[in-house]
Amino acid sequence: MSLEQLYEILLSDNPSKLIKKHEDKIFDMIPELKACKGFNQNNIWHVYDVYEHILHVIDKVDKDLPLRLSALFHDVAKPSVYTEDSDGFGHFPFHWVESVKIFDRFVNKYNVDSTLAEQTRKLIFFHDANKEKLNRVLDVFDSESIKKLFNLKRSDLLAQNPKFHYMIDTYDDFEKEALDKIRKR
């Protein structure tokens, strides 16, 4: 599969369906994605394995290549960083850092456009950013990028356990605060 074919799949109306149809070829391109299939997250935040969660996020984000590509890679490192506490609860420390490393290997192997790669890299790295990291987010994002980040964050939350979907309101507030701070610069 070529990079352009992957992009066509990601930008389709129902990318998860096409990803599943062509998953062997996509797994050849992104071997770490194969490890996500069937990988149970073992925590109350997640109702899907890592692979299904990723597919739900891809389907939920806007039809925009940096968003869809970041959705594809945002949790791809989870199997490689997985730890479990004494209660059997799964954790994924710094999975965003490792996911960026996996994405960077993909970028180098397939010669991804540098502007697209940089936009996607930032989205992957900050997809789990909380309010305490707001200033760091503001250092690297403009208002358009903030909107994309929150599109990814919302989609990520909505692909998790519905019991936590109420938190979407805090994302709205967080985005508004970030955009207000950018306007005041």
Give tens-digit pLDDT for 79-89.
Answer: 998 889 999 88
Residues 42 and 51 sit within 8 Å (Cβ to Cβ): no
| Per-residue pLDDT at 132 exceeds 80 | no
Residues 16 and 56 sit within 8 Å (Cβ to Cβ): yes
Residues 107 and 117 sit within 8 Å (Cβ to Cβ): yes
Containing 94, the helix (H) or strand (E) segment is none
Residues 139, 145, 147, 149, CA torsion sign: negative
Mean pLDDT of 68-95: 92
Q: pLDDT tens, 161-175?
A: 999 999 999 889 889
Predicted model pTM? 0.94
pLDDT band at 47 (very low <50, low <70, confident <90, very high): very high
pLDDT of residue 42: 85
